[in-house]
Amino acid sequence: MTTTDLGELHIKANAVGVLDAIRGRRSIGRLKPDAVEREIIEALLEAASWAPSHHNTQPWRFVVMTGEGRSLLGEGYARVTAANVPELEGEELEERLRKERVKANRAPVVIAAICSPADDPRAVREEELAAAQVAVQNLLLAAHAYGLGAIWRSGAPMFHPRMKETFELREDEELVAFIYLGYPDMTAPEPKRTPVTDKTIWVQG
């Protein structure tokens, strides 16, 4: 076998590994309470930082919440709820806020991914948001590679001004994901995908 043949085999093996990771990753919503090693979390963030961005602006930053640090997100949920149901008061309000705060404890690690647009006149906001979202996908794939479970959560509370205030974001910054991360406590669901041929048009010369 020639050096060229070995090189081609290596390339094919790498391709299979990447494609298997893309097809094998699932959203895992039930996670064990076990802590995730800091060095693994740092490796996931490093993978996220290799996402593509126009003009290499790298328009992302992350807030990693573990242990009591998750109360930051819990308080954000509570503040959003309090703003949305001003008619509630007393014990009824306190119970509602308690339920909102515990949402942050559904995983041992929660990572807030933030689009932080670059101070570059060439930067386009939509492209900056897309780059930050691609960074999240990198992080999810890396988590899968480490045998971790993760789910990308968002929803209306994430976009609420009170949540933005809780995380002390600049006016031009936006939350793009709350990534709940940990060791899986469930079997990954079977994949369901519409054939890509149903969503593809070829334009050929």
Binding residues: 25-27, 54, 152-154
Print the SS3 string covering the chain.
Answer: CCHHHHHHHHHHHHHHHHHHHHHHCCECCCECCCCCCHHHHHHHHHHHCCCCCHHHCCCEEEEEEEHHHHHHHHHHHHHHHHHHCCCCCHHHHHHHHHHHHHHHHCCCEEEEEEECCCCCCCCCHHHHHHHHHHHHHHHHHHHHHCCCEEEEECCHHHHCHHHHHHCCCCCCCEEEEEEEEECECCCCCCCCCCCHHHHCCCCCC
Binding residues for FMN: 25-27, 54, 152-154
